[in-house]
Amino acid sequence: MQQVTTMRLRGNTLSSRIVPESWITNIILIAVGSALMAVSARFSHHFSFSTVPITGQTFAVLLIGALYGSRLGAATMLAYLAEGAAGMPVFASGLGGISAIATASGGYLFGFVLAAYVVGWFAERGWDRSRWIVLPMLLANAVLYVPGIIWLHQQFDIVGKPITWSTSLDYGLWPFIAGDLAKLVAASLAVPAGWSVVERLRGSR
């Protein structure tokens, strides 16, 4: 009888080291990850200098990507978007529904998928075991901004406000760099620390 094997979605990541790979555990991890995204979105604040709120989501995206790997990390972000599109209040400021995605910050939501995939790809190749994971996280953060800024620029066109790309950057990029760098550094320290704890516990058995 031919043995049916489960396709590995998480690769050699910290989550696969802690929780054995199976369809059930992957579904549970997606649920947990999307819940973490919803909680992180609650840490939200609108500043007068931008139409896009500052939230804790960037930290959660990078953390989930590093823990889950590229495919499960991206799948978790897609699940999060699907929950929000279905009307669940999981986005910043407790918003949900298609209208919430259609706001000025909608492009960043799609950027979450790309960012999680990028970080996860590097994590599967061992970058998550050292502080050098900060470099893939920096790349992922940059990738996240691309659809966010393009979407924001188009939103200004839709409402009939002519705007330059420089102004779009003033609203959708520069105000967030300092905060995102802080969240990025925190995530880059948390993941290798998690590996150290897990390996130490396994070695002590």
Among 27, 35, 32, which Cα is nearest to 9's?
27
Residues contacting residue 134 through CB under 8 Å, at least 6 positions apart = 184, 185, 188
The mean pLDDT of the chain is: 89
Q: What is the pTM of this model?
A: 0.89
Contact 62, 184 (CB under 8 A): yes
Which residue type is seen at 198?
V
Q: Is 4 helix (H, G, I), strand (E, B) or coil?
A: coil
pLDDT band of residue 167 (cuts 50, 70, 90) is confident
pLDDT band of residue 203 (cuts 50, 70, 90) is confident
Condensed to tens digits (0 to 9), the pLDDT of residues 136-159 reads: 999 999 999 999 999 998 887 765
Condensed to tens digits (0 to 9), the pLDDT of residues 19-61 reads: 999 999 999 999 999 999 999 998 877 665 555 667 899 999 9
Residues contacting residue 189 through CB under 8 Å, at least 6 positions apart = 131
- Domains of the chain by start residue, with CATH: 14-196 (1.10.1760.20)
Report d(CA 108, CA 103) in Å as an integer: 10
Give one word for 162, left, alpha or beta, with left for phi > 0 and alpha for psi -120 to 50.
beta
Condensed to tens digits (0 to 9), the pLDDT of residues 54-95 reads: 789 999 999 999 999 999 999 999 999 999 999 999 998 889
Report d(CA 14, CA 69) in Å as an integer: 9
